[in-house]
Structure 1
């Protein structure tokens, strides 16, 4: 067994044990010595053992064999055809190979591979192997001796899941079409033939040709903001992009549409359809303050600009942390900045997720748990502790509901293994693991560490962690070794008392979790009690309630709520007409539970007017749980809504609405 493999195997085994420090240290020292002989710096030396584990980690959701030949750079030259709804052109891949490498294996799904050549244009032999619906097919390309570049000629197809092509009627402006990508988790392979694993970081460049009345943006530096002429094609223009920092493939992102821009600060700004640009820019005017607060906590922002693109309503997530350009749902535009924690979350990903990235989708919590924790710290810095505490309580509340759903006998969503921070996802679509667990349980783990070590020590550790592994990928096993070395200081008794192994590898919640509290939400509980005991809705002391307070109020009303009480609340506070998506979502869940008919038009409008999975999936589940009217309504509404949803959302809802 080669030395690196032997060390990585030993270190991984040690990381999985509650007490494995001697083995771990020997592995680290041995590897460190080897790296020192090859000229590694002391800082590189500190990260040696963890990165050795990552280097030998197998990604079960990729066909790539990066130890033999790996993609280091992708250069795209694509034309957007809105009539056929395809991107077509070339992907030129720069490779790093072993001396005797004879082939490179790429991930593809639903791509029309037309030919493959070397850099000179000479054809290369290639085969599309057998695959499956989840992972697609491996594209194996025979390599000439010493080949460092290959060119794949291809087009996307209608069966791809990353791109959503929208008609003018599906956009805010109603005049021009739109297309956007969503690569996370394993969807990039449906629009780019590359090694689609978060451990295989790649730089990229692109030339995107679009109709001359549209604008292209990507998660990279914009080299031609206004576009450039395409010789011989007066109705087209080309946009060029360059990402010099190595990123995970799922972070390569594109959008094309009637897009405008407004600067918010020296390094921040908002892109959106021109019809919604003013509202979006007003909502996100605090972006520069958020960026400065984040840098104060965990070090310099390393991506140049931080901009946000507000997408059409079908975007399946609240936000997607594409480097330099967060993609965001318009459902966070409430008109009062009440939902801008989403921007804090996506900004935090610039450190946890983009700078240091989960190496496999079983390590997803390293992206999301860190980010939820960091999001809370940004919100506290910019908007104050009270607001941040309320958001933490709401997140904790969501986590408790998710844990119950995943473990309750007879539940249709029961899957106790998904209560782990590090689940076994072999053979499972990583999209199906999406829940509050990696987000909120991961954040609770870091809050537990904060409670023990104090913020000053934990902040110093996290800042060092981002510095040690900047532009690298990380596994849970490797993180354990780093945690032992730099925060626990190899104290085996402390590791055991903090229940580190239980937190990271076992099901459920350890009993040393620290539940967040909020004085403001405690006061809300008193108003919930007053209402349930007979105080009329209009007489409640709720005049200054913020969005988190209303969310808490609505989610703590008792199951015994009557339709008459629902009507009182609706008359007094207009919940069925609110423009705050979080409050409306909580209200509609109550409306389904109590079959409150006046809210049904709002429910149908909400489900057909946006495709954010956080809202759509629970609402359809709630409808399907109501025999008779609920099932009938779910099927009727989904028939209308499905064509407008992104494939990521359809994938989940298809299994709910049978």
Structure 2
């Protein structure tokens, strides 16, 4: 009998001191209240040891967080209290939290009595911040509740404060948070690890007329405080990893899509955003048909200002989206399918450590492709899969087939956006599906979500579960090459490659252009995926005359699809095409999405005497407008020799 993965799970089943609050939600209207609070297990195996947290959850852990915070847009400050419910083992006398730049002024117990606390030595320059050790002296084994009074620093890395000029409306400021991977410790004092799931609630006050949304269910109407401010209340009564606590505040409106779906955006953006995501309810139905009920109540989205550093973030009940995905034809809303799929893989079952991030991103990318197939058809799904496969091949060609970082399960924090965690992870599941058959595979993946719901997981658990509940016999186990896929670098030989016919016409057009410069007349009628495939495979060295001809014939600089515009700018700058510089500067001044910003600065920086002065000039103007995630990536580029 094979070792059962559930042996890795500790049964630290200590009930919260009080149940999470519930109430009647405002528009959008739905409550996720459940009869009793949930406490997720803590994994105890060595592969579940999170080296990016100071917490010691086997000793004392946070089970619930209650925030009461004021948003001060003038001072760029979040300040107030965080009340933590704690479960501790017998004899525990210390709780260790994560903090990065938090200014903690007091810690008190449930009776308001002060507790001793100490911030660890050091500078926190590694990005992890410093530990906060708090004495907990109540009778061992009983639940504890403590309250921290604190402020987040104005430059808290998780928070981006936008001026009115950085918004579509131009009249009111905006704030959003981005917690993944370990940034929420810059504005919330808690144990900031994906393996320490917590329920939470929040009361947030903000100046009128701003609205506040969070990754929890809104409770009742906003409370008018009579001083030009309103208070908004939220509850998440299902345990989530702390990085999924998210907030946004600004001049935003809501429009319903279906009975449990809708979108928030600035008023001038709302109609375009709504048209782009109008298929969302259909996507939810398709996802449920594949892998079971959607368990979070509502699925709403907010389209943020363009400074948001990612394409999307899967915050429960409130996916955050970049406006750069809006193309007018829904060609980029595989992004919505991806963030929705995270409601199962990532949010429902979460990697316990960031070195296993493929459990979130790879499984989700596979699931995304299945949703796209259900809603938009097999051709589009296969084309998008082929683009993923090309990403894997390009990455392996760049870093080497044997590079340790090309294993799915790695040590330490993963590189967000990696073609390994996302695309290799997806092709692993695609390969397993092809070998065992879709019906068996879908039944297995559904039971994985059901049996590990609201729990952390590791690669070893995933592997053991496959052996126990999916693999049939030694011959099939050998054919699947499971350990090679998960724990070894490179791409295993059994990979289920995409159908070469998916881009046959496009690949023929690429060959024709390379041979004699023929620009395909059919380009305008191609799908966005086909257009991207063509542009991404053109010869690297193009003359200025060739670039001008491509732009004129294909309308590249005038496209409304930012994915295609990025490919055009990248290609033009790599060939030192001066007419594209002004457009690149405008693009980099308006868009903060790291996927676009970092590579364009990298292209300019790599062009030496021609490009570096341009990059330096643009970055001096744009750096302060970028989120900390984007700034960090560009800073690394600009520091390279």
TM-score when normalising by structure 2: 0.91
Q: Does 1:438 align with 2:425?
A: no
Deviation, structure 1 residue 433 = 5.7
Counterpart selection for 2:279 from 270, 282, 286: 286
Quickly say closer, same or farther: Cα 1:194–1:418, change in 2 above 3 A. Answer: same
Quickly say closer, same or farther: Cα 1:518–1:607, change in 2 above 3 A. Answer: farther
Identify the residue that residue 70 of structure 1 maps to in structure 2.
61
Identify the residue that residue 405 of structure 2 maps to in structure 1.
418
Identify the residue that residue 3 of structure 1 maps to in structure 2.
none
Deviation, structure 1 residue 432 = 4.0
DSSP 3-state at the match of 1:275: helix
Quickly say closer, same or farther: Cα 1:442–1:282, change in 2 above 3 A. Answer: same
Deviation, structure 1 residue 53 = 5.0
8 Å CA contact retained: 1:445, 1:513: yes
DSSP 3-state at the match of 2:228: strand
Quickly say closer, same or farther: Cα 1:52–1:86, change in 2 above 3 A. Answer: closer
Q: Does 1:99 align with 2:90?
A: yes
Q: Distance in 1 between matches of 2:176 and 2:279?
A: 25
Q: Distance in 1 between matches of 2:540 and 2:367?
A: 34
8 Å CA contact retained: 1:386, 1:518: no
Q: Does 1:175 align with 2:162?
A: no
Identify the residue that residue 621 of structure 2 maps to in structure 1.
640
Identify the residue that residue 600 of structure 1 maps to in structure 2.
581
Counterpart selection for 1:275 from 268, 275, 282: 268
Q: Distance in 2 between matches of 1:78 and 1:183?
A: 17
Q: How does 1:174-323 map onto structure 2 within 5 Å?
A: 174-224=170-220, 226-230=221-225, 233-323=226-316
Q: Distance in 2 between matches of 1:433 and 1:352?
A: 16
Q: Does 1:451 align with 2:434?
A: yes
Counterpart selection for 2:444 from 444, 461, 473: 461
Identify the residue that residue 146 of structure 2 maps to in structure 1.
150
DSSP 3-state at the match of 1:216: strand
Identify the residue that residue 391 of structure 2 maps to in structure 1.
398
Deviation, structure 1 residue 434 = 4.5
DSSP 3-state at the match of 1:533: helix
Q: Distance in 2 between matches of 1:184 and 1:479?
A: 22
Q: Does 1:81 align with 2:72?
A: yes
Quickly say closer, same or farther: Cα 1:31–1:188, change in 2 above 3 A. Answer: closer
Identify the residue that residue 499 of structure 2 maps to in structure 1.
517
Q: Distance in 2 between matches of 1:203 and 1:52?
A: 18
Quickly say closer, same or farther: Cα 1:431–1:641, change in 2 above 3 A. Answer: farther
Q: Distance in 2 between matches of 1:136 and 1:189?
A: 8
Identify the residue that residue 20 of structure 2 maps to in structure 1.
none
Identify the residue that residue 334 of structure 2 maps to in structure 1.
341
Q: Distance in 2 between matches of 1:555 and 1:330?
A: 23
Quickly say closer, same or farther: Cα 1:52–1:181, change in 2 above 3 A. Answer: closer
Counterpart selection for 2:162 from 159, 166, 178: 166
Q: Distance in 2 between matches of 1:376 and 1:556?
A: 22
DSSP 3-state at the match of 1:276: helix
DSSP 3-state at the match of 2:523: coil
Deviations 1:268-320 (A, max 9, x none): 00001122111111111110000000000000000000011001101010000
Identify the residue that residue 330 of structure 1 maps to in structure 2.
323
Deviation, structure 1 residue 519 = 2.9
8 Å CA contact retained: 2:523, 2:554: no
Identify the residue that residue 43 of structure 1 maps to in structure 2.
none
Counterpart selection for 1:566 from 543, 547, 559: 547
Deviation, structure 1 residue 145 = 1.7
Counterpart selection for 1:358 from 343, 351, 362: 351
Deviation, structure 1 residue 212 = 1.8
8 Å CA contact retained: 1:536, 1:568: no
Deviation, structure 1 residue 61 = 0.6
Identify the residue that residue 651 of structure 1 maps to in structure 2.
632
Q: Distance in 2 between matches of 1:203 and 1:51?
A: 14
Quickly say closer, same or farther: Cα 1:386–1:518, change in 2 above 3 A. Answer: farther
DSSP 3-state at the match of 1:623: helix
8 Å CA contact retained: 1:268, 1:306: yes
Deviation, structure 1 residue 561 = 2.8
Q: Distance in 1 between matches of 2:564 and 2:193?
A: 37
DSSP 3-state at the match of 1:121: coil
Deviations 1:380-432 (A, max 9, x none): 00000111111111111112212222239xxxxxx92221111121xxxx264
DSSP 3-state at the match of 1:559: coil
Q: Distance in 2 between matches of 1:433 and 1:421?
A: 13
Deviation, structure 1 residue 505 = 1.0
**Deviates further, 617-626 or 283-292:** 617-626
Q: Distance in 2 between matches of 1:276 and 1:313?
A: 11
Deviation, structure 1 residue 535 = 5.6
Counterpart selection for 1:505 from 480, 487, 491: 487
DSSP 3-state at the match of 2:48: coil
8 Å CA contact retained: 1:185, 1:431: no
Counterpart selection for 1:383 from 376, 386, 391: 376
Deviations 1:509-558 (A, max 9, x none): 11111221253411111222233333653x62223111111100101111
**Deviates further, 140-149 or 235-244:** 140-149
The CA RMSD over aligned residues, in Å, is: 2.0
Deviations 1:338-377 (A, max 9, x none): 1110000000000000000000001100000000000000
DSSP 3-state at the match of 2:506: helix
8 Å CA contact retained: 1:180, 1:254: yes
**Deviates further, 62-71 or 494-503:** 494-503
Structure 2, gaps ≥5 residues long: 15-40
Deviation, structure 1 residue 202 = 0.4
Structure 1, gaps ≥5 residues long: 1-20, 39-49, 409-414
Quickly say closer, same or farther: Cα 1:112–1:196, change in 2 above 3 A. Answer: same
8 Å CA contact retained: 2:47, 2:458: no
8 Å CA contact retained: 1:345, 1:375: yes
Deviation, structure 1 residue 239 = 0.2
8 Å CA contact retained: 1:373, 1:446: yes
Quickly say closer, same or farther: Cα 1:433–1:175, change in 2 above 3 A. Answer: closer
**Deviates further, 560-569 or 343-352:** 560-569
Identify the residue that residue 533 of structure 1 maps to in structure 2.
515
Deviation, structure 1 residue 336 = 1.2
Quickly say closer, same or farther: Cα 1:385–1:448, change in 2 above 3 A. Answer: same
TM-score when normalising by structure 1: 0.89
Quickly say closer, same or farther: Cα 1:152–1:278, change in 2 above 3 A. Answer: same
Identify the residue that residue 51 of structure 2 maps to in structure 1.
60
Identify the residue that residue 31 of structure 2 maps to in structure 1.
none
Counterpart selection for 1:110 from 101, 105, 116: 101
8 Å CA contact retained: 1:259, 1:274: yes
Deviation, structure 1 residue 560 = 4.0
Identify the residue that residue 478 of structure 1 maps to in structure 2.
461
